[in-house]
Amino acid sequence: MRIDIRASGQDAADVPNAQPGSYVRRVDCLVRHVGDVVVLLPIGAHEAITLTGSAAAIWHELHQPKSERSVVEGLAESFCVSAADIRESVVQVLEELNRRGAVERAPG
Protein backbone atom coordinates (compact mmCIF):
# COMPACT_ATOMS: atom_id res chain seq x y z
CA MET A 1 0.00 0.00 0.00
CA ARG A 2 1.35 3.42 -0.94
CA ILE A 3 0.85 6.11 1.66
CA ASP A 4 1.96 9.64 1.14
CA ILE A 5 1.39 12.46 3.60
CA ARG A 6 1.05 16.03 2.53
CA ALA A 7 0.65 18.86 5.00
CA SER A 8 -1.70 21.44 3.63
CA GLY A 9 -4.28 23.97 4.72
CA GLN A 10 -2.64 24.26 8.09
CA ASP A 11 -2.16 27.50 9.91
CA ALA A 12 -0.63 26.01 13.02
CA ALA A 13 2.57 27.64 14.13
CA ASP A 14 5.81 25.85 14.84
CA VAL A 15 5.23 25.09 18.52
CA PRO A 16 8.49 23.42 19.65
CA ASN A 17 10.41 26.72 19.62
CA ALA A 18 7.73 28.66 21.47
CA GLN A 19 8.98 30.73 24.39
CA PRO A 20 7.02 30.16 27.60
CA GLY A 21 3.98 32.43 27.72
CA SER A 22 4.07 33.25 24.03
CA TYR A 23 0.89 33.02 21.97
CA VAL A 24 0.60 30.04 19.60
CA ARG A 25 -2.09 29.19 17.07
CA ARG A 26 -3.86 26.05 18.21
CA VAL A 27 -3.12 23.13 15.94
CA ASP A 28 -6.69 21.83 16.17
CA CYS A 29 -8.27 25.09 14.99
CA LEU A 30 -9.79 24.85 11.49
CA VAL A 31 -8.93 27.77 9.21
CA ARG A 32 -9.79 29.26 5.83
CA HIS A 33 -8.49 32.47 4.31
CA VAL A 34 -10.87 34.61 2.27
CA GLY A 35 -8.59 37.30 0.90
CA ASP A 36 -7.69 39.45 3.91
CA VAL A 37 -10.37 37.82 6.04
CA VAL A 38 -9.55 34.81 8.22
CA VAL A 39 -12.31 32.39 9.21
CA LEU A 40 -11.56 30.17 12.21
CA LEU A 41 -13.41 27.32 13.86
CA PRO A 42 -11.80 26.13 17.08
CA ILE A 43 -12.45 22.46 17.68
CA GLY A 44 -15.79 21.87 19.37
CA ALA A 45 -17.02 25.41 18.69
CA HIS A 46 -20.46 25.89 17.20
CA GLU A 47 -19.72 29.28 15.72
CA ALA A 48 -16.90 30.41 13.49
CA ILE A 49 -14.76 33.43 14.29
CA THR A 50 -14.29 35.87 11.42
CA LEU A 51 -11.21 38.07 11.66
CA THR A 52 -10.93 41.17 9.50
CA GLY A 53 -8.54 44.10 9.34
CA SER A 54 -6.19 44.38 12.31
CA ALA A 55 -7.62 41.26 13.99
CA ALA A 56 -6.69 39.24 10.88
CA ALA A 57 -3.27 40.90 10.98
CA ILE A 58 -2.82 39.60 14.54
CA TRP A 59 -3.52 36.08 13.28
CA HIS A 60 -0.95 36.59 10.51
CA GLU A 61 1.58 37.84 13.10
CA LEU A 62 1.16 34.50 14.85
CA HIS A 63 2.53 32.53 11.89
CA GLN A 64 5.10 31.67 14.50
CA PRO A 65 4.76 31.76 18.30
CA LYS A 66 5.17 35.27 19.62
CA SER A 67 5.05 37.04 22.92
CA GLU A 68 2.35 39.62 23.50
CA ARG A 69 4.99 42.29 23.17
CA SER A 70 6.27 40.97 19.81
CA VAL A 71 2.76 40.85 18.40
CA VAL A 72 2.11 44.44 19.47
CA GLU A 73 5.43 45.63 18.01
CA GLY A 74 4.93 43.72 14.77
CA LEU A 75 1.49 45.19 14.30
CA ALA A 76 2.63 48.70 15.23
CA GLU A 77 5.29 48.47 12.53
CA SER A 78 2.84 47.13 9.93
CA PHE A 79 0.29 49.86 10.60
CA CYS A 80 2.88 52.64 11.25
CA VAL A 81 1.46 53.48 14.68
CA SER A 82 2.94 53.58 18.15
CA ALA A 83 2.96 50.31 20.11
CA ALA A 84 1.59 52.09 23.17
CA ASP A 85 -1.47 53.24 21.23
CA ILE A 86 -2.55 49.74 20.19
CA ARG A 87 -1.30 47.55 23.03
CA GLU A 88 -4.60 47.41 24.92
CA SER A 89 -6.65 46.52 21.82
CA VAL A 90 -4.18 43.87 20.68
CA VAL A 91 -4.14 42.25 24.11
CA GLN A 92 -7.94 42.16 24.12
CA VAL A 93 -7.99 40.33 20.76
CA LEU A 94 -5.31 37.87 21.87
CA GLU A 95 -7.20 37.14 25.07
CA GLU A 96 -10.45 36.67 23.17
CA LEU A 97 -8.79 34.29 20.69
CA ASN A 98 -7.31 32.41 23.63
CA ARG A 99 -10.68 32.27 25.41
CA ARG A 100 -12.39 30.93 22.28
CA GLY A 101 -9.77 28.25 21.67
CA ALA A 102 -8.13 29.60 18.52
CA VAL A 103 -4.76 30.30 20.18
CA GLU A 104 -3.09 29.18 23.37
CA ARG A 105 -0.16 30.27 25.49
CA ALA A 106 2.93 28.13 25.43
CA PRO A 107 3.42 26.50 28.82
CA GLY A 108 6.16 27.84 31.00
Of the candidates 18, 11, 12, 23, the residue with the CA atom closest to the CA atom of residue 95:
23
In the bound state with another protein, the residue whose beta carbon lies nearer, of 40 and 72, is 40
**Calpha distance 80→72 (Å, rounded):** 12
In angstroms, what is the minimal distance from the CB of 87 to another protein? 29
Q: State which amino acid sits at residue 44.
A: G
Q: From the CB of residue 72, how many other CB atoms can be counted at a distance below 10 Å? A: 23
Q: 22 φ, ψ to 5°?
A: -75, 160
In the bound state with another protein, the residue whose beta carbon lies nearer, of 3 and 80, is 3
In angstroms, what is the minimal distance from the CB of 66 to another protein? 20
Binding residues for another protein, rule: CB under 8 A, are 1-10, 12, 27-35, 37, 39-41, 43-45, 48, 50
In angstroms, what is the minimal distance from the CB of 91 to another protein? 26
In angstroms, what is the minimal distance from the CB of 39 to another protein? 5
In the bound state with another protein, the residue whose beta carbon lies nearer, of 14 and 77, is 14
Pair 65, 71: CB distance under 8 Å: no
